[in-house]
Chains A and B, each alone.
Chain A
């Protein structure tokens, strides 16, 4: 048996300290975190799906929501995702001012989304909706609505905070492109979740 007969697909090439996915540990960790957080929302949405299948009727969304307003919310979040991607790209090109501008735009987008979500919530609460009951005949509708949008909104808020910290660090010169990229991954994830909520809760 020759010395070089080493079994396993990675055996001869492993130089050590490099990811098999060719990304640093912090990006890998963020991706695994995203997988877990995605599955948290999957848990909420699966529960919602189960309960909708189990209920004989479900409120007509066009009676409850102003769908054009929801479309505006979606537009805002998608746009903030595009500005975030631009900020990440700018950080990799070393264009510092562009980074700060587009981070700022992303934060504004996030805050606008939260404001719109709060406005939507207050309208529904004034109409008599709560976790326990609502005027549209299916108590679980309100429960699932507030729970799912509440968790998503909290994630948006956390994202805005993360972005603010990232921007502040970049402002003082202590920020790095990796930090912007990691914040970007989180922000895109929050937008991704909204795509599913928007479709499965508001449209389907």
Chain B
């Protein structure tokens, strides 16, 4: 109560900048992720320019990047910076930020029926630790040598030897520092998420009555909390290798710059192991909340319960557990022991099973439903399509034998863009359109939303489907130009098509930004439950006040999927509806 009064009289800074209210923090995260997405997207446009027209002169870009594009022509090392930063920004500072930072913060207290997170001050700290991380990442473009250029995977020796490439001077160090801040921010947020879901559920909200979204956020946070620490250890070792002459990742006999480097005893293989020990669970940290959002939205717009709720929860457990023991499937051609490789391949094949269960449950949720193709539904369906087809590609990469050919080819690029770009991005958009009314009390434009969808989904799909075939044809990744390889001559035309389609895709995102901002100012006013959904957040006003629930916390009597219950007065029964109104059968 005292906190409520305090905030009522608080100034602008305390209410909108250093707020401890999870809803404000969630929106702050979402807005930052949107800004970083614009930067990440522009980096992708630059990448596409280079690949379609290698060696071309771009005078105005030459002015913008006088070092990397001296004379308007892109240098190979600048290209490597572009792919590095595009990957890093998109994975950590866009997808993770939007899904976990944005939706996680906004939804968790509302969906469990709490007033806020367990430790609101820590929550605020987590956002304000992230902001310097973002600024340092972006600032790394401006230092001598430019941004890091060793890939988002930061493999030594390229990342460990400062003279190896311009980006490995200060850019790589700033990259490591910014990642450390990100990891600290993630940890602070994750601690809050897990604790709030376990301890702050309202009366009647048992674990098996939680929406699937909460389960996915829970497992994703827990996974991140245990998977990040070994990467932090590795990052420290990399810093020591770079600046203090250690040899954690550097073997003896490295010959560079006309001399043998003095290091001995280490190996890049250790970095690869430690990095991917996080790196693989990380992709599940990204995709689990996305799947949660899809499973949140499908029932609402099919007016049907989620199919196989329990099996979905068990599958999430299996995925979370298995994801921690398959990291070596990124390392089949690294020189790793092939016996180790087989162990990882078996785990990777096993993980397809719970993933397939979840995908099947999504389809079964739709089966026989009364479908409403609103914009959130369209994006959720797109995410499902990407999950299915992208998942198939993963089977070929997960097998050591086929991966020997496909590793480091565009097949990999196509696959992970389907998963991280496709599933997670479509789910993020779906979430934005779906929860915008709850966040801001206004509806987004359906017309602009559908236009955004039809310009985004087919283009994204086409671009990265094509890349699967280019990879099969033997096109390697992270090369700054392919026009000098005779065996890839036939693929130079598709490179141009992809770039042109990418321009359409990028431009289409303006529709989203216009819709978002315009609706904030002039969107139709939204009631508490415009979609007719059952989960707890829709029982609060749009937007919910500070403290979410007024005087009385809600009480939950049923699971969140009582859609179209036979004999019920409406085709949805909120979780707060008592047994007298509609019988509780699940």
A residues whose Cβ falls under 8 Å from a Cβ of B: 1, 3, 5-11, 13-21, 24-26, 28-29, 32-33, 35-37, 39-44, 46-47, 50-51, 54-55, 130-133, 138-140, 143, 147, 151
Do B583 and A1 touch (CB < 8 A)?
yes
B-side contacts of A55, CB under 8 Å = 265
Do A17 and B206 touch (CB < 8 A)?
no
Do B209 and A40 touch (CB < 8 A)?
no
Do B237 and A47 touch (CB < 8 A)?
yes
B-side contacts of A29, CB under 8 Å = 118-119, 191-192, 195
- Out of B118, B202, B233, B244, name the residue touching A40 (CB < 8 Å): B233
Across chains A and B, the number of contacting residue pairs, with CB separation under 8 Å, is 147
In angstroms, how far is the closest chain A Cβ from the Cβ of B565? 12
Say if the beta carbon of B205 comes within 8 Å of chain A: yes
B residues whose Cβ falls under 8 Å from a Cβ of A: 113, 118-119, 187, 191-192, 194-196, 198-209, 225-226, 228-234, 236-237, 240, 244-248, 263-267, 270, 273-274, 553, 555, 579, 583-586
A41 to B202, CA, bound (A): 36
Query: Do A36 and B209 form a contact, CB below 8 Å, given A7-B586, A16-B202, A16-B204?
Result: no
In angstroms, how far is the closest chain A Cβ from the Cβ of B508? 40
Q: Name the CB-closest residue of A to B585.
A: A1
A-side contacts of B267, CB under 8 Å = 54
Do B228 and A36 touch (CB < 8 A)?
yes
Known: A16-B203, A36-B228, A131-B244. 10 other contacts (CB 8 A): A10-B208, A11-B206, A11-B208, A14-B201, A16-B555, A28-B194, A35-B226, A46-B230, A50-B273, A131-B246
A-side contacts of B585, CB under 8 Å = 1, 5
Query: Do A14 and B204 form a contact, CB below 8 Å, given A36-B225, A36-B229?
Result: yes
A32 to B197, CA, bound (A): 13
A37 to B225, CA, bound (A): 10
A131 to B233, CA, bound (A): 16
Do A140 and B266 touch (CB < 8 A)?
yes
A-side contacts of B191, CB under 8 Å = 29, 32-33
B-side contacts of A51, CB under 8 Å = 248, 265-266, 270
Q: Which one of B119, B199, B208, B583 has the greatest number of beta carbons of chain A within 10 Å? A: B199
A51 to B274, CA, bound (A): 13
What are 14 A-B pairs with beta-carbon distances under 8 A?
Answer: A5-B585, A7-B586, A10-B208, A19-B198, A25-B195, A32-B191, A32-B195, A33-B187, A37-B229, A43-B274, A47-B248, A50-B270, A143-B248, A151-B236
Do B208 and A143 touch (CB < 8 A)?
no
Do A44 and B118 touch (CB < 8 A)?
no
A20 to B195, CA, bound (A): 11
A-side contacts of B244, CB under 8 Å = 131-132
Do B194 and A32 touch (CB < 8 A)?
yes
In angstroms, how far is the closest chain B Cβ from the Cβ of A23? 8
Do B229 and A3 touch (CB < 8 A)?
no
Do A139 and B265 touch (CB < 8 A)?
yes
Query: Do A143 and B209 form a contact, CB below 8 Å, given A5-B585, A25-B195, A39-B230?
Result: no
A138 to B198, CA, bound (A): 48
A130 to B233, CA, bound (A): 19
Do A143 and B118 touch (CB < 8 A)?
no
In angstroms, how far is the closest chain A Cβ from the Cβ of B212? 14
B-side contacts of A28, CB under 8 Å = 194-195, 198-199
A-side contacts of B230, CB under 8 Å = 39-40, 42-43, 46
Do A20 and B198 touch (CB < 8 A)?
yes
A-side contacts of B204, CB under 8 Å = 14, 16
In angstroms, how far is the closest chain B Cβ from the Cβ of A140? 4
Query: Do A10 and B207 form a contact, CB below 8 Å, given A3-B579, A131-B244, A140-B247?
Result: yes
Do B206 and A131 touch (CB < 8 A)?
no
